[in-house]
Amino acid sequence: MEYNFLKIEKKWQKYWLENKSFHAEIEPGKPKFYVLDMFPYPSGAGLHVGHPLGYIASDIYSRYKRLKGFNVLHPMGYDAYGLPAEQYAIQTGTHPAITTEKNVARYREQMDKLGFSYDWDREVKTCDPRYYKWTQWTFIRLYNHWYDQAAGKARPVPELIEHFRSSGNADVRAAVSPNWFDELSKKDATFGTGWKGIFTSSDWAGFSEKQQQSILMNYRLAYLSEAIVNWCPELGTVLANDEVANGYSVRGNHPIERKMMRQWFLRITAYAQRLLEGLDGLDWSDSLKEQQRYWIGRSEGAEILFPVKDSELSLSIFTTRPDTIFGSTFMVLSPEHEYIEKITPASHIDSVRAYLHEVINRSERERMADVKKISGVFTGAYSINPLNGKPIPIWVADYVLAGYGTGAIMAVPAHDSRDYDFAKHFGLPITEVVSGGDISEGSYDAKDGTMINSGFLDGMQVREAIKAVIKSVNETGTGRGMINFRLRDAIFSRQRYWGEPFPVYFREGIPYVLSESELPLELPPVDAYLPTETGEPPLARAKNWKTKEGYPLETNTMPGFAGSSGYYLRYMDPKNEKEYFSKEAVSYWQNVDLYIGGDEHATGHLIYSRFWNKFLFDIGMAVREEPFKKLVNQGKIQGRSSLVYRLKGSNNFVSQGLKDQYEHIVMHVDVSLVNNDILDTQAFRQWRPDLADAGFILEDGQYFCGHAVEKMSKSLYNVVNPDELIEHYGADTFRMYEMFLGPLEQSKPWDTNGIEGVFRFIRKFWRLYHDEENQFRLSDEAPVASELRILHKTIKKIQEDIERLSFNTAVSTFMICVNELGELKCSKRAILEDLLVLISPYAPHLAEELWQQCGHHESITKAAFPVFNQEYLVENSFKYPVSFNGKMRFQLELPVGMQADDVQKAVLEAEESAKWLEGKVPKKIIVVHKKIINIVV
């Protein structure tokens, strides 16, 4: 029987589907294991060779865990909302749901061909109303919760209202937007100017419904607010910070503008500290954890008030270096700072306004482009250093950002490089207060040294001085210790059609959420997928987009990360119509044990998910604080482009080795026309009409191409599609080759040529079970020691390799095993049946087929992983490498049990030693048992 992979693979894929071989149910007595892939956005292009890498790895791991007796949950679904389908809808009028459905079908077909062990009964699609019902439900819950800093968790808003009613808000420690009361009192004069946001129970009773709701909005975990956002006119939507790179949209590369808009936000900042602390217990890569830590950006410091000279006002600054306060020689406000107009005297108002005008007109992109350009203006006002009473000038400059801290700093040029550059540029004084640097050269930023020129701080070390200053400002009421985070609240609105509608309506301009019983609020049909003439989002086009009572519904939709933030929980109980997921399901499946996916989600999905999960944990839904215990980022598979060299101004091409003798232009050529870097010149001429008469300058009668490793992309003609390879070699070969390429986490170039080696191996493997006539044949003879040694060596290594996700070395191990068994012409059932189970996670179709031929009536997925037995590996001698001065010279076989003294003796007596000793007496002999012997001469 020939190895007919096409037939075999189809047969077993059908079998697994029909028998629901990978369907998981709660089995209380059995240990669970949850293996998850980051679900894909189904794009129109289908999967290329890079996509399945992580899926293959997770599939091998899942199958392995099943063999090890675990109840494995291994689901797959689709992150179905996304811009490409919507852009296509705008261009063609095709409803994005139709495009998405088509792409999903194509993805499914491609994944099925790879033989994955997904439980397809648990499939979810984020655009399915049965799914997004729970996305909307979570939004309502977020809206109806606030974050209690004292309790360190989210609590229901009704409890907060109750508290306001009985005791006001003076003693409530909540996560709220900074200075929220300023915004409110600005819009509603009845709160009174200078209102600090504190109210009593009777104040609360006196507030109107609108006032009460406006106050509550500042406490909710999902809230509506005005903010400067990244507006992308091309896409007609707002983008989150992580959807923007260098002033352009990550998707589509369109320019971004800053714009003030009303948006929904999620108060993720309330969870900043917990998001940071939670990282410590996670089995994630250091680089990923580092990225998240940096993104969260916790810094400890102090907030200090500087009174403005000849004014009632005080300016609040944030600093991480309160110790350097005596070295502060000026103060800088961000151009957006609201006090600028109030403090600037008439003498300076024109120059200040001119500067603000200039800065604000510079687009975000320009500002980023010339970071190094120093600009600023003196306001003419002075503030008083609260510690020494000295006045310092107040400047405005765009190197201070409105969005961080208080939007104002005390500049300490001697100990901050940015302040130093600014001071040098404008000729401002520089006062050294920490010894250790040379301020004529540059600022000394290290938190290390002795305080000088600093009054009562003199002689202290930096760390002591920081504490002393905080203590001092605390006592005088001019400041306090403060922790600041870089993390911003997540903008949750998009002005798009293809997303989850908000379960929100407006009554007299006040937003209210729908009741949970009204969910899902389904996405309505629209006549076009564009904004309206008045600039409203596409949902404003929907007919009757209002509640039963006639109140208008929200026209924004949710962003991409809404649906992906909690999908791993829904997989636990995907068909539940009453709940997001049952208590029973979550108690059993808990959280994800192994999560595999791309590292581009480091500061997006992976932070939002953790936040989402922590919130669900707080409200008693999730049972674990962290969603993903272990996380692995698979590397990208890069394209390996083929290059040809066209002579300048002609249609002749010169082979790689000769190219430097000619003036040439490098050109990409489709990789399908190239085999082992040799160009198929005939096919090349037929590739494009303009190449029909191409001429070639050959080397040894052949045209050799150059190559380059770059991203896999259509425009570089280096895209390799898995379908063709599976057609050619089968899924089992494809799976093993992807793993064989290199370590999972590493990025590496795709090179189709190597797949032949794995294909050879697979056929060799098949032949172990067949005789010369291709007839299935196993012998029932008892295995000999050498055969058992090979098997158990392999069991040990395969198990170790899978456990540490080292799939490439596992494939090598199988190759070695098959080479060795082949040499022994081993065809013994006792060896080869165990070998089938070992390889079944990697080459599942092949393993099933041979397992059946062995006479088994049940799928190999139900088998048990072979148990490693150390006894078979016991050797009674060891071939010691013998080194002289660390250089390996020869090998010497000695009994394993020999004592170190005897080994030394034996080595010196060995014939070959004489040559290296040259008659000298060795200084020292090191014997490492079963490792090495080193003789120092």
Partner RNA sequence: GCCCCGGUGGUGGAACUGGUAGACACGCAGGACUUAAAAUCCUGUGACCAUUGCGGUUGUGCGGGUUCAAGUCCCGCCCGGGGUACCA
Report the site for RNA in 815-854 (rule: CB under 7 A): 815-816, 819, 822-823
Residue whose CB is less far from RNA, 90 or 227: 227
Q: Which span sits near RNA by CB under 7 A: 275-283, 398-406, 508-516, 605-613?
A: 398-406
State which of residues 105, 205, 683, 928 lies at the interface with RNA (CB under 7 A). Answer: 928
Q: CB–CB of 932/881 below 8 Å?
A: yes
- Indicate which single residue of 251, 629, 793, 889 sits in contact with RNA (rule: CB under 7 A): 889
x-marked contacts with RNA along 13-32 as a string, rule CB under 7 A: --------------------
Is 336 one of the binding residues for RNA (CB under 7 A)? no
Is residue 757 at the binding interface for RNA, with CB under 7 A as the rule? yes
Q: Which stretch binds RNA (CB under 7 A): 194-202, 230-238, 681-689, 797-805?
A: 797-805
Side chain identity, residue 338: E
CA distance 911 to 900: 19
Which of 388, 476, 869, 891 is close enough to bind RNA by CB under 7 A? 891
Q: Which stretch binds RNA (CB under 7 A): 137-145, 238-246, 509-517, 863-871?
A: 238-246
Q: How far apart are CA 395 and CA 379, in angstroms?
A: 5
Q: Looking at residues 549 to 608 of the shown chain, list those that interact with RNA (rule: CB under 7 A).
A: 599-600, 602-603
Of 354-383, which residues contact RNA (CB under 7 A)?
Answer: 367-368, 371, 373
Nearer to RNA by C-beta: 130 or 630?
630
Quote the CA–CA distance of 433 and 449 in Å, as a whole number.
9
- As measured in angstroms, the least distance from the Cβ of 503 to RNA is 31
Strand partners, 228: 260
Beta carbon nearer to RNA, 32 or 630: 630
Shortest distance in whole angstroms from residue 106 CB to RNA: 27
Stretch that binds RNA, among 232-240, 612-620, 754-762, 771-779 (CB under 7 A): 754-762
The contact mask relative to RNA for 714-753 (x = CB under 7 A, - = no) is --------------------------xxxx--xxxx-x-x
Nearest approach, Cβ of residue 269 and RNA (Å): 12
Nearest C-alpha neighbor of 491 from the set 184, 667, 232, 255: 232
Q: How far apart are CA 610 and CA 275, in angstroms?
A: 7
Cα 873 versus chain centre, distance: 42
The reply to whether 698 sits near RNA by the rule CB under 7 A is no
**CB of residue 283 to RNA, shortest distance in Å:** 15
Beta-carbon contacts of residue 844 (< 8 Å; ≥ 6 apart)? 12, 63, 115, 117, 732, 860, 861
Q: What does 763-805 look like in DSSP terms, one character per residue?
A: HHHHHHTB-TTS-B--B-PPPPHHHHHHHHHHHHHHHHHHHTT
The verdict on 277 binding RNA (CB under 7 A) reads no
Taking CB under 7 A as the criterion, which residues in 244-273 touch RNA? 245
Q: Which residue has the tokens 């765009």?
A: 398
Task: Give the contact letters, 155-184, x = binds to RNA (CB under 7 A), - = no.
Answer: ------------------------------
Which tokens in the block code for residue 298? 């916790």
Complex with RNA: residue 45 or 928, whichever CB lies closer: 928
Beta bridge partners of 295: none
State the DSSP H helix or E strand holding residue 394, giving kind and residue range, or none if neither. Answer: strand 391-396
Strands (E), 558-662: 592-597, 628-633, 637-647, 652-654
Which one of 84, 236, 386, 405 is in contact with RNA (CB under 7 A)?
A: 405
Q: Measured between alpha carbons, how far is 414 from 435 in angstroms, rounded to an integer?
A: 10
Query: Closest CB to RNA among 695 and 754?
Result: 754
Count of positions on this chain that bind RNA (CB under 7 A):
86
C-alpha closest to that of 563 among 605, 513, 599: 605
Q: Does 508 bind RNA (CB under 7 A)?
A: no
Backbone angles phi, psi at 44, to 5 degrees: -70, -20
Residues in contact with 625: Cβ distance below 8 Å, sequence separation at least 6, in sequence order: 274, 278, 613, 614, 617
**Shortest Å distance, C-beta 407 to RNA:** 6
The answer to whether the CB of 59 falls within 8 A of the CB of 537 is no
Convert residues 460-499 into a mask of x (bound to RNA by CB under 7 A) and - (unbound). ------------------------x-x-------------
- Between the alpha carbon of residue 297 and those of residues 25, 290, 485, 488, the distances in Å are 41, 10, 5, 10
Closer residue to RNA in complex, CB, 558/802: 802
By CB under 7 A, is residue 45 in contact with RNA? no
- Toward RNA, which CB reaches closer, 409 or 457? 409
Q: Where are the beta strands (DSSP E) in 44-169?
A: 71-73, 145-148, 153-156
Among 69, 121, 294, 666, interactor with RNA by CB under 7 A = 294
